[in-house]
Amino acid sequence: MAYPVTLIYGDGSGPEVVAAARKVVEATGVAIDWQVAEAGAAMIEKYGAPLPEETKASIRKTGIALKGPIATPIGTGFRSVNVEMRKTFDLYANMRPVKTYAGVDGKFSGIDLVVVRENTEDLYAGIERMVDEDTAESIKLFTRKGCERITRFAFDFAVREGRKKVTCVHKANIMKCTDGMFLDIAREIAKDYPTIEFDDSIVDAMCMRLVMFPEKYDVLLCPNLYGDIVSDLCAGLVGGLGMGPSANIGVDGAIFEPIHGSAPDIAGQNKINPTACILSASLMLAHLGEAKASAQVEQAVAKVLAEGKVRTQDLGGTATTEEFANAVVAAM
């Protein structure tokens, strides 16, 4: 029986990376019933909204989606479709693995950490207003429920995956109510997981430590805003955003996507690196219970990168998006 999966190609270079990931998934032999749906800026003219109701309905039905990047206007226009999806389907946990691969010219070796980011609250809740023409206000919203469930997700993940340490990232020295509550809850819940080491770090100090000795960290538990910033910083340590997969997970659904943007400047040129989307598809396979296929995909990506014969432009090569995908399939 095939797994039903909503497939969203997205904006810009999204269709290229999603097509590459789809090809790799199909090469594993795992049966997927792809249900193509639409989202993105182009949907406004067609449906009146960047996230059509038909697409929401598809995700509700399948419970799983693989999507490409979707552009978000800066300063004006519609709000982030990604944020809307996370709120609509209560995808409260964002998981972003960060790993060094042989053959990729990152700044470090030996990095293997995971950023676990709360995905529905904080400043990204989008509660803001103009107080007057010269003053803007945005509300930083934390709830006990939100803090507790993301903390337990991080610790449960650490136990399940054999991780050793969880580090809570915060700014509780300044924001004593919001970040203070987040840290207090993390400290309390940590007592329920005696086999997992727990510590915490102020976010600015965390950023410094990550660019000095990232190999010392394992699972980073972050509120929404800090998690977004820290995960991009970490991606820069291992070769760039093109290496960054992610999973958005809730009680009743999950959406998998690369963390990079839509790269409209190279859209349609068949040159964007599809690694992040392929690795996101690997996370999707693991979520579906197809652990062997998930490992097969990740190992094939690692082999292609280590050999260095097929590299996309961002990694110093000339290979096309399609050529990289084909190389991964061949390595499988």
Report the predicted TM-score, pTM, of the whole model to 2 decimal places: 0.92
CATH (domain of 164): 3.40.718.10
Closest to 146 (Cα-Cα) out of 200, 86, 201, 204: 86
- Claim to verify: residue 221 and residue 275 sit in the same structural domain: no
Measured CA to CA, the distance from residue 181 to residue 235 in angstroms comes to 28
Residues, the chain, total?
332
In a 13 Å sphere around the CA of 73, the CA atoms on its Cβ side amount to 9
Mean pLDDT (10-residue bins), the chain, 332 residues: 94 94 97 93 76 92 95 58 87 96 85 96 90 96 97 98 97 97 98 98 98 96 97 93 94 93 87 96 97 98 95 91 97 95
Last residue of a domain, one of 216, 237, 258: 237
Instruction: List beta partners, residue 299.
Output: none
Last residue of a domain, one of 194, 209, 237: 237
- Cα–Cα separations (whole angstroms), residue 75 to 44, 82, 132: 18, 16, 17
Q: Is the dihedral of CA 72, 76, 77, 83 positive or negative?
A: positive
Regarding whether 68 and 6 lie in a shared domain, the answer is yes
pLDDT in the model for residue 108: 84
Domain housing 85: 1-93+245-332
Q: Are 319 and 327 in contact, with CB atoms under 8 Å apart?
A: yes
Looking up tokens 């995956």, which residue turns up?
A: 161
Examine the domain organization and report whether 111 and 233 are in the same domain.
yes
**110 Cβ contact list (under 8 Å, min separation 6):** 100, 215
pLDDT at 58: 96
Q: Are residues 79 and 167 in the same domain?
A: no
How many Å is the Cα radius of gyration of the chain?
19
The CA–CA distances, whole Å, from 303 to 129, 232, 300, 309 equal 50, 24, 5, 10
Instruction: State the catalytic residues.
Output: 124, 171, 204, 228
pLDDT of residue 255: 97
Same domain assignment for residues 219 and 193: yes
Residues 253, 331, single domain; the answer is yes
**Residue 175 has which token pair?**
């924001």
User: Is residue 100, in this structure, part of any structural domain at all?
Assistant: no
Partners of residue 114 on adjacent β-strands: 97, 219
| Domain co-membership, 232 together with 251 | no
In a domain, 101, yes or no: no
Q: Are 321 and 24 in contact (CB under 8 A)?
A: no
User: How many structural domains are present in the chain?
Assistant: 2
